[in-house]
A and B are shown apart, each in its own frame.
Chain A
Amino acid sequence: MAYLTIENFNKSFGNTKVLKGINLSMEKGEVVSIIGSSGSGKTTLLRCINFLETPDNGVMMLDGSTLFNSEQNYKDSEKILREKRLNFGLVFQSFNLFPQYNVFNNISLAPTLLLKDKLKELKKQLKAQKLSAKEIKTRINEFKENEKKIIEQDTFELLEKIGLSDKKDAFPCELSGGQCQRVAIARALALKPKILCFDEPTSALDPELTGEVLKVIRSLKDEDRTMIIVTHEMGFAKHVSDKIVFMADGIIEEEGEPKTILENPKSEKLKAFLHGVSEKDGE
């Protein structure tokens, strides 16, 4: 069984059907790129995967366990939903960095907040063991200090990975778009998601800044990270992907190896789409 399996995802907004039965599967360590014209439902699919939207229909399984099944007749609690979201990371087109935090804190904020939850759990456990108040306190402090150090170290490593160690104290408004997006990638990585999703990570950038972001994503590919990338950068998709998926009008029109998809398209829609892209690039 595949690492991630999506079956028959359907999603409508009002009367507009945006996803009309998406089936997608991928293996661990694979990179899948999603291409397709504007409005074909790429963003909606990523949002469904990340539990920002709830599909009307469908099943999603990750690593052998069912994360979503429209047949189940109960609603996930807020807490369960949060835990499920943590399986995935999402890098937005418009970065969405937190403007009031510097680069370091943008990356370490979420892990630090999660640590608070963990501390509460630990406290409960220790109390159940009927330890003395003092003992509980020292144990918790020990754990906290240790975890904090780990978060700090992780953050420094991520900063190095995105090549922004010297910008750790800068605020988002002091960074270029490319630097912002690199920070956003590090921020998503800080929670160690099983699958990292990108929604047109370079579309909001000036052309001369796309390279630095794509380079970071390529380095993640070299680490065998599992990624789903919605992109309009055909050249990049070709090099980085194990599989390219072409979406049109809410369905997956064609999918396959990058070379086949880009050089030997079968469906008319994909041919037309690729033709349009190459014309744009030729301008």
Chain B
Amino acid sequence: MDFIAISQGLMDGFVTTLLLFLLTLVFSLPLGLLVAFCTMSKFAPLRILFKLIVWVLRGTPLMLQIFVIFYVPGLLTDGQFVWPTMNTGWVWFDKTVSTRFLAALVAFSINYAAYFSEIFRGGIESINKGQTEAGMVLGMTKSQIFFKVVLLQVVKRILPPMSNETITLVKDTSLANTIGVIDLMYKASEQLLNGYIWVIFYAGLFYLLFTGLLSLLFGYIEKKLSYFKA
């Protein structure tokens, strides 16, 4: 097989990787914020429940969680439960693996929500209480204080750990191929088994380029927010 065809194949896989990455962020970021608020709740049962959930999700391997999400529902229901097929109709999105993709997406979103929630919680708790109190004596509502006063300071503070976590996510997406999601890693290992050793390095280059771009992006945002000290 020639270089062009292999590149084409890797590109197809990369689109799946990219999609898994982006959709995971779309779901896990807001979910993580919600979980963060739950773990900071004054209502003890809620707080303890969510701290427990976060502890389990961060304390067990992501691959185990992927297996649980993908296999266990079906096994428990004697095959009654099947992850639904998404009929996207997108040409580059292989319909036959989309059930696997969906399961992977759910597992990634939940797992990363747990990690992000810890980062968010740390960030929010690190903001001086005086900021909230200043907002209160100025007659602001709780949501105004969060969105207009606290949030940007939190964003600035958590940028470095978020950058790390996001880059880890890029690399973690390769775990999806263990349940047969046809991503970049899947395509590359296919070719590796066909005897094309260089393809695995070629795929590495894809990942490297992707994480490199993310680093640049985070660096850019960090610079954008350097006009104030928080």
B-binding residues in A (CB < 8 A): 50-52, 78, 82-83, 85-86, 88-90, 92, 94, 96-100, 109-110, 113-114, 171-173, 187-188, 191
Contact = CB atoms under 8 A, between A and B. Distances in A.
10 contacts: A92-B133, A96-B133, A100-B153, A113-B139, A114-B139, A171-B227, A172-B228, A188-B137, A188-B138, A191-B139
A92 B130 contact: yes
B154 to A, nearest CB: 11
Contacts of B136: 51-52, 85
Contacts of A173: 228-229
Contact of B137 (A78, A88, A97): A88
Given A100-B228, A191-B138, 13 more contacts: A50-B137, A82-B141, A85-B136, A92-B130, A92-B133, A92-B134, A96-B130, A96-B131, A99-B153, A100-B153, A113-B140, A173-B229, A188-B138
A95 B137 CA distance: 13
B73 to A, nearest CB: 42
Interface stretch (B113-121, B144-152, B175-183): B144-152
A88 B139 CA distance: 10
A98 B142 contact: no
B144 A113 contact: yes
Contacts of B228: 99-100, 171-173
B130 A94 contact: yes
Contacts of A90: 137
Contacts of A110: 138-140
Contacts of A92: 130, 133-134
A78 B139 CA distance: 10
B46 interface: no
A18 B139 CA distance: 26
A14 B212 CA distance: 53
Given A78-B142, A172-B228, A98 B137 contact: no
A143 B167 CA distance: 49
Nearest to A90: B137
Q: Which of B134, B153, B228 is the most central at the interface, judged by chain A CB atoms within 10 Å of its CB?
A: B134
B229 to A, nearest CB: 4
A187 to B, nearest CB: 7
Contacts of A78: 141-142
B23 interface: no
B140 A100 contact: no
Nearest to B156: A100
Contacts of B134: 92, 96-98
Contacts of A86: 139
B217 interface: no
Nearest to A193: B137
B230 interface: yes
Contacts of A99: 153, 228-230
A78 B130 CA distance: 19
A153 to B, nearest CB: 19
Q: Which of A96, A110, A173, A191 is the most central at the interface, judged by chain B CB atoms within 10 Å of its CB?
A: A96
Contacts of B138: 109-110, 187-188, 191
Contacts of B139: 82-83, 85-86, 110, 113-114, 191
A113 B133 CA distance: 16
B204 to A, nearest CB: 39
